[in-house]
Structure 1
Amino acid sequence: MKKIIILLLICHYKLLSQTPDLGKLKPENGNNLRYISIGSSLSAGVRNGGVYSAAQQTSFPNLVAQQMGIFNFRQALLEGNGSGYESVIVDKNNNLKFQKNAGLDDSKKLSKIIDEIDNLALPYLKILDIYEPRSDNNQFVDKKSFKYLDRLISTEEEEKISYLKYLSRVKKIDFFTYELGFHDYIQYVKSGGLGTSIIYMGARENYGEIELLNILTSKNAKGAMANIPDVLDFPIFRYNTLKKIQKANSTNEIFISYLAKSGVRIAKSLDIFLPTQNISDLMDNTIPDNQKLGLKPDSPLNDSDVLSIDEIETISVRGYNKAIIEPLSQKYQLPVVDLYSLYKSIFKGNYITDDGVLINPDYPSGNFFSSDGITPTALGQAVIANEFIKVMNSHFNAKIPLIQTIKFIEK
């Protein structure tokens, strides 16, 4: 009997020692803390090129909530395969080959969420999408994110309610994490810089963000804000190089159209060749030369297949973080979670988690990037969650235990 009592005391002690101390985050009125997540694809848990329940449940906000002792963190989970997701392999030509696992019918609306949720991040949300409601007449608003906003509002409000307006209705907020702008840069790179610009990010506060941050902080909520990784480091955008393409086609000249196909130029070594079908065809020796683009001046690659040096020079994520993120964080007294430095450290190939897991940034063979080469794996999300927890512990005098990342290997 005495041994049983001792064992119970030991178990009770361990339980107490693992109970998170929320420090300054703990509500003064003694009520349960409400944590909400504001963000885009990263916060929403997009993985393997899709949105689905298993991925959503390993989103870093959900992992952070669990470590905070919040086990009813509500998310707008999708059923089954959700929007669908993809797997990737490298074929004998060293090409990336993607296989889609089908999900919900894109022609149908997603099911409505009746209950209030806490992860308010919208997949594919851009800064430009905050202020405006969805409208077929507004070419600058990305309708891809608004199908997920539509789940949270009534049918009558669709195309009338913006993300900003929706968030203004949230009544109780004690703590929030904030991650926006990442997808803007990703979308710019993926489009090859064609038909879009990233210059507006230098004045992102003019697109509803100031109003959004005012709404959050006016409720006396505390928060933590993430900066943006350097997307040009992502290995999927560096997978195919000019040298590889030249060697695969036994030529020194690859031709690219520019200025809406009004001109043709010769590719340069600093060009970034994106993972498009046209680039994949160039790397495939089973495809006849006359069926490939880029080998002749009269059949050049599309501008959208390549990010040129001029387009690359418009992207200065480091400068953007310093000029925009840092002042916003200071104005609203939000500590910054330095994803820029985290990713840089991971890309060096020697990043080891606190519990001893080596993070491999290689693509597609590593453990940090999911099959889309952009969003993180479950392990990658756990790494990011720990960065948030470290900042929260430091800034808010909290003692929230870190996640054991080893549990997320190969999930």
Structure 2
Amino acid sequence: MKKFFYKSSVLALMAGMFLTSCDPEIDAPAASSGEADFSTYVALGNSLTAGFADGALYREGQQASYPAILAKQFEQVGGNSDFRQPLMPEGVSAGSPRSNPSNPSIVEVPQKRVLRIQPDCRGDVGLAPVEAGNAAALTPAFLGQLAPTVQGPYNNLGVPGAKSFHLLAPGYGNPAGLMTQPATANPFFARFASSPNTSVVADAMAQNPTFFTLWIGNNDVLGYALAGGTPSPTSSDYPTNKDMFTAYIAGIVNQLTSKGAKGALGNIPDVTKIPFFTTIPYNALVLSAEQAAQLTAGYAAKGLGHLTFQAGANALVVLEDGIPRKATPNELILLPASDFIKCQGGGSSTPLPDQLVLSEAELAIIKDHTNSYNASIKAVADAKGLAHGDFNAYLSRLSTGFAQNGVAYNSAFVTGNIFSLDGIHFTPRGAALVANEFINVINTKYGARIPKVDETQYKTVALP
């Protein structure tokens, strides 16, 4: 049997070689740029474009950003081989600046998150995403340590934290503004802007691009969602005015196309479909019969007899306008509530604060603005004859999941293969899937034949 199997295998292999060598006509069509010119490609956007992952910007994430992946594929159809990114120094990572909890006057920069085996807040040992090291204070000296390791100009102009109007703002990368007017400047742009008073769009246009991708607008609504819908309509984190958003997108695209460049626009995914908002179920409060009785009695003693509990899964208790109530199935609990729920009585004896919950009314605001923004992006793309990627529809498929090349993908935190350890940004594998979706719409719009990348060659969440 072994001899027969060996001979059969050799014959099959030889037959396959013969057929391959004698029938080149079955090969895929040659790569082609179609009606587009990829000789100078620039990418504009926010953290998704920059390669931000695991809660920080760092070299490995940048090298696997979707623009970097696209640029490699564009090389096969005449694209620039020297696609430059403002790469972070080796071993250095920088997350979004935040106030120090113990001293709000200090702005600190966290490091990337990694999976580690360690005790949680209850002492249970397991895998958990944690920051790789201590946060650093945001100072001019620290900014100097983040200087790019390659010379510009830069083709990847993704700026973590950027909203639509920021791409047009002169001085958005002014280092002096970080200390005196932090709301008007961004440390991630300050580290690579060509001059203190330039704008992202100006740095793009200085390169005379022949092709661009623009994926902006996520942060125009995400800031509101990340704050649990607490910002008021006058807050900078409230979703950008819908009419103003339309004007900003049109202004950006008008400049990018002013010299004849073609491009592709991506729309905004539903931010409430990502793991940061979907990992903790509304009924995550699991009680024994004794615990349920005690909790019911405790709330009754406070004059809140309408809050009753039973053995098993219960809706979490949340605060709305200072009044405790139970979460509804249509509300979302933010990922940072995890340890509060697990070890501090959050959602049971201590209600979850507004900042950790998206109510149905807040979700309606998010949906309304997302739909409006996406209509504006599509209208501008159509008016300018540009490719349009419907990432809202594409990433919504993750809610139910899909399989591709033998791999299952979904929106599950850590295990879904798409999202990194911050529950918001992509893994390298997720970025490759985004690149392929851009390639799909570019090929369709411009009659190009840009080969897609094998996404399975890119990593997912790194295990310790």
Q: What TM bracket, shorter-length normalisation?
A: 0.7 to 0.9
| Structure 1 stretches lacking a partner, 5+ long | 1-9, 28-32
The reply to whether residue 197 of structure 1 matches residue 197 of structure 2 is no
Per the TM alignment, residue 214 of structure 1 is displaced from its structure 2 partner at its CA by: 1.4
Q: Is the 8 A contact 1:257 1:264 kept in 2?
A: yes
Per the TM alignment, residue 128 of structure 1 is displaced from its structure 2 partner at its CA by: 4.0
Match of 1:348 in 2: 400
Distance 2:252 2:31 in 1: 29
**Within 5 Å, which residues of 2 pair with 1:18-37?**
20-26=31-37, 33-37=39-43
Between the two proteins, the alignment pairs up a number of residues equal to 375
Mean alpha-carbon deviation: is it higher for 374-383 or for 209-218? Answer: 209-218
- Which of 352, 371, 387 is equivalent to 1:301? 352
Residue 68 of structure 1 aligns to a residue whose secondary structure is helix
Distance 1:178 1:205 in 2: 14
Match of 1:274 in 2: 334
Per the TM alignment, residue 357 of structure 1 is displaced from its structure 2 partner at its CA by: 3.5
Structure 2 residue identity aligned to 1:273 = I
Residue 173 of structure 1 aligns to a residue whose secondary structure is coil
Match of 1:122 in 2: 159
The reply to whether residue 377 of structure 1 matches residue 427 of structure 2 is yes
Question: CA-atom RMSD, angstroms?
Answer: 3.3
Q: Is the 8 A contact 2:45 2:162 kept in 1?
A: yes
Residue 35 of structure 2 aligns to a residue whose secondary structure is helix
Q: Is the alpha carbon distance of 1:86 and 1:131 closer, same or farther for their aligned partners in structure 2, counting shifts above 3 Å?
A: same
**Within 5 Å, which residues of 2 pair with 1:200-239?**
200-206=241-247, 208-239=248-279
Distance 1:241 1:77 in 2: 38
Misfit runs of 4+, over 6 Å: 16-19, 92-96
| Structure 2 stretches lacking a partner, 5+ long | 1-20, 95-110, 232-236, 297-306, 308-315
Q: Is the 8 A contact 2:84 2:154 kept in 1?
A: yes
Match of 1:241 in 2: 281
Q: Is the alpha carbon distance of 1:88 and 1:313 closer, same or farther for their aligned partners in structure 2, counting shifts above 3 Å?
A: farther
Match of 2:130 in 1: 99
Residue 72 of structure 2 aligns to a residue whose secondary structure is helix
Query: Computing the radius of gyration over CA atoms, which structure comes out larger, 1 or 2?
Result: 2
Per the TM alignment, residue 76 of structure 1 is displaced from its structure 2 partner at its CA by: 0.6
Match of 1:171 in 2: 207
By percentage of residues, which structure has more strand?
2
The reply to whether residue 62 of structure 1 matches residue 68 of structure 2 is yes
Distance 1:258 1:67 in 2: 50
Percentage of pairs with the same residue: 25
Structure 1 residue identity aligned to 2:280 = N
Distance 2:238 2:129 in 1: 28
Distance 1:202 1:351 in 2: 38
Per the TM alignment, residue 182 of structure 1 is displaced from its structure 2 partner at its CA by: 1.6
Distance 1:87 1:18 in 2: 42
Mean alpha-carbon deviation: is it higher for 106-115 or for 217-226? Answer: 106-115
Distance 1:235 1:114 in 2: 36
Q: What do the CA deviations read for 1:317-364 (whole angstroms, capped 9, x no partner)? A: 662355312111112221111111211223221242xx4433243222
Structure 1 residue identity aligned to 2:401 = G
Per the TM alignment, residue 267 of structure 1 is displaced from its structure 2 partner at its CA by: 3.3
Q: Is the 8 A contact 1:199 1:314 kept in 2?
A: no
Structure 1 residue identity aligned to 2:282 = L
Structure 1 residue identity aligned to 2:443 = N
Per the TM alignment, residue 147 of structure 1 is displaced from its structure 2 partner at its CA by: 0.9
Match of 2:383 in 1: 331
Distance 2:270 2:154 in 1: 31
